[in-house]
Structure 1
Amino acid sequence: MESNRPKKGSKAKLREFFIAHVGEILDSSVLREVAGTSEWGRRVRELRGEEGMNIVTHNDRSDLKPGQYMLVNLKPLPAFERGISKETRAFVLDRNGFTCQMCGAAAGEPHPYDTSRKTRLHIGHVIDKSMGGTDDPSNLRAICSVCNEGASNLTLNRPDAIKLLAQLRRAPAKDQLDVLRWIVQKFPEQAKEILNQD
């Protein structure tokens, strides 16, 4: 006999799981399984930011490793509303060239660290709201779902020009031409100026 009760969403499942395991270190693979979705990381952030659950990670406590989470206690922290407008999201995505500011993956392309899915971008905070960060565009950046979930645990520094050139020189000519096309498409006016100088 089928139950008429509605199915629980991934956030509700995670909420119950955290509450049942207060003070325990929980691994990201377990949380993904409990949530039943690749968007589990976003749901955890919603529990922290919107519902004020005191969930900490390695960014908050040195005794936790990347990919580990813990609900410290049941005392709620100040919760934050979702306050980023569509216009601000569009501005940030455009400013960041529709690429993840952690790993460089471009929206819609196969993800370089998880080729089984296409890159999907979100808006993330540079300084988390729980640490006093704001929704001002200067504190926002485009970030892909893989980095956003912490699945790849990437905190890559942006490469400087000399490192980029070294990598490009090693690449096959076809890849170098793909990069050239992308740069010309991204900076058409500057490309015209450079070509007119010769």
Structure 2
Amino acid sequence: MSTKVPRRKGSRTKLREFFLENVGHVLNSDLLRDIAGTSEWARRVRELRNEEGMNIVTHNDRSELKPGEYLLVNIKPLPSFERGISKETRAFVLDRNGFTCQMCGSAAGEPHPYDQGRKTRLHIGHIIDKSMGGNDDLSNLRAICSVCNEGASNLTLNRPQAIKLLAQVRRAPTSDQLDVLKWIVEKSPKQTLGLLNKTQ
């Protein structure tokens, strides 16, 4: 008579079960490393988030969390486009959008203007949500920050037209106009130089 040897749980399985047992509780990196039993625990957490869609957030997503703290918000999985999008597509959309949120204009890595406690972290989102008939085409994807993403469910905003933007810049004080110019030069130095050469 043969006896079955129970299969050992992998580190990803251990972490998944532990997060599900502690939904809504802040977990620190030391504890997660112990649970996983491997130095690769952080990669396993990323896999749970990116491949399985677990809604695990860090200090990059929530200002109340400290570095090294993780929180499973709820058991509702993240949208599939965030998990299934390729690195190439993500890089293309972020570059096309100038590494700035297309709703509030905050740039990746900078302090967020509407949440002073955290830096801007960009995600890839839909312009027209899937629930409203949108698709995963490049033309329907945009860079969006964590703050705007939290409040952007089923919300579609039209991008401002150049004439409206110029009207706002013209009304602004000279110091603000120079700030806009500085931002444009830093964001697109080659294009700015090309425009200056054409005007000379």
- TM-score, normalised on structure 2? 0.53
Is the contact made by 1:103 and 1:156 (CA closer than 8 Å) also made in structure 2?
A: no
| 1:13 corresponds to 2:23 | yes
Is the contact made by 1:147 and 1:154 (CA closer than 8 Å) also made in structure 2?
A: no
For each residue in 1:36-59, what CA deviation from the matched residue of structure 2 results, as whole angstroms up to 9, or x when unmatched?
Answer: 96569x966952645xxxxxxxxx
What corresponds to 2:181 in structure 1? 180
Is the contact made by 2:129 and 2:155 (CA closer than 8 Å) also made in structure 1?
A: no
Q: Hey, what's the Cα distance between the residues in 2 that align with 1:95 and 1:46? A: 30
What corresponds to 2:168 in structure 1? 167
Match of 1:182, SS state, is helix
Q: 2:77 aligns with which of 30, 47, 68?
A: 47
Q: Hey, what's the Cα distance between the residues in 2 that align with 1:184 and 1:11? A: 49
Q: Which amino acid aligns with 2:109?
A: G
Aligned length: 144
What corresponds to 1:76 in structure 2? none
Aligned counterparts, 1:29-178, within 5 A: 38=61, 47=77, 49=79, 82-130=83-131, 133-150=134-151, 157-178=158-179
Q: Hey, what's the Cα distance between the residues in 2 that align with 1:121 and 1:155? A: 17
Query: Structure 1 residues 11 and 97, CA, compared in 2 at 3 Å: closer, same or farther?
Result: farther
Is the contact made by 2:127 and 2:141 (CA closer than 8 Å) also made in structure 1?
A: yes
Moved more, 85-94 or 123-132: 123-132
Is the contact made by 1:107 and 1:119 (CA closer than 8 Å) also made in structure 2?
A: yes
Identity of aligned residues (%): 69
What is the Cα-based RMSD across aligned positions, in Å?
A: 4.1
- TM-score, normalised on structure 1? 0.54
Q: Hey, what's the Cα distance between the residues in 1 that align with 2:155 and 2:129? A: 17
Is the contact made by 2:127 and 2:156 (CA closer than 8 Å) also made in structure 1?
A: no
Query: Structure 1 residues 45 and 167, CA, compared in 2 at 3 Å: closer, same or farther?
Result: farther
Is the contact made by 1:92 and 1:141 (CA closer than 8 Å) also made in structure 2?
A: yes
Higher relative contact order (CA 8 A, sep 6+): 1
Name structure 2 gaps, 5 residues minimum.
Answer: 1-13, 25-55, 63-69
The Cα of 1:98 is off from its aligned counterpart by 0.6
Q: Hey, what's the Cα distance between the residues in 2 that align with 1:132 and 1:117? A: 33
Name structure 1 gaps, 5 residues minimum.
Answer: 15-34, 51-79
Q: Hey, what's the Cα distance between the residues in 2 that align with 1:119 and 1:165? A: 25
